[in-house]
Amino acid sequence: MEAVILILGLLVVAFVALGIYVSVKVIGAASRGVDRTITQARRAVEDTTLRAKSYGQLGVAGELAQLRLSLRTSMRATQEALQTGVTEDASLSESLGLFQRLSVHGRELDDELKRLEREPDKTTVTSLLPGLKERTGQITRSAESLRWAARDRARQFADDDLAALNVQIDVEAGALRHWTTEEPVPGQQPDRPAERGQRAGQDRAGAPGPAQREGRAQGHGNGPGDEGIAQAITAADPRQQTGYPWQKRPRPETTN
C-alpha cells in the first residue's frame, strides 16, 4: 500500500513539473512574440517618421532623416537576404558573421544620427554632414555588396540546377524517341514500303505472306506445287500425256 501511495505521489509531482515547464515555455514564446510585434511596430513607425521628415523637411534635419532611412533600409534588406540564404547554403554563415560585425557600426551610426537630429546647434551638425555621409555610404555599400553576392550565388546555383535538369530531360526525351535515332547501315539500301509490307506478312517459320499467296492464286495453278496437287486429285489419262523426246514410245500390242 505504501508503495502505491509513493508511486502516485511521484506521478503527481511529475505532472506538476511538466505543467510548470510547459507553462514557462508557452509564456516565453508568447512574450517573444509580443516583443517581436512591438519591435516591428516601432520600426515601422520610425521608418514612416523618417520618410516623412526626409520628404517634408528641408535643411539639416531632412538630410539626417534621409541618411538614417537609407542606412536602415540597406541593413535590413541585407540581414533578411543573408538569414534566408544561410538556411539553404551553409557557406553564407561567414558572410552572416561579417554582416553582424558591420551591423555594430551601422547601429552606432544610426544612434549618432538620431542624437544629431535633436542637436540645437545646426551649424556644427552641418559641418559634420560630409563625414556622416561618407560613413553611411561605406556601410551601405558593404551591406549591398554582401546582399548582391548572396543573391548572385543563389541565382547561379539555380541556373546550374536548371541546366543540369534540361540535359537530363533531353536525354530522356531522346531515349523515349529511340526509333528516330536509328541510322542505316553503310551500304544497305533503305527498305521500300512494299518490301517492308511483304516481310511483315511472313511469320517466324518462313511461311509465305499474304502477298505471295495472292500471287500464287492469280497464277491459276501453273506452279510445280499446284500441278502436283492437281495430279493427286484427278488421275492422269495416259492417252493425253505427251512424252518427252528422249522417252521411247510404247509398242503396240500384237496378238498371236
Task: Give the pLDDT of residue 250.
Answer: 55
pLDDT tens, 11-49? Answer: 888 888 888 888 787 777 776 676 667 766 776 767 677
Q: Amino acid identity, residue 224?
A: P
Q: Tell me, what DSSP letter sits at residue 222? A: -
Sign of CA dihedral 131, 46, 82, 70: negative
pLDDT tens, 128-137? Answer: 999 999 999 9
Residues of the chain with pLDDT under 70: 31-32, 34-36, 39-40, 43, 45, 47, 56-57, 181-256
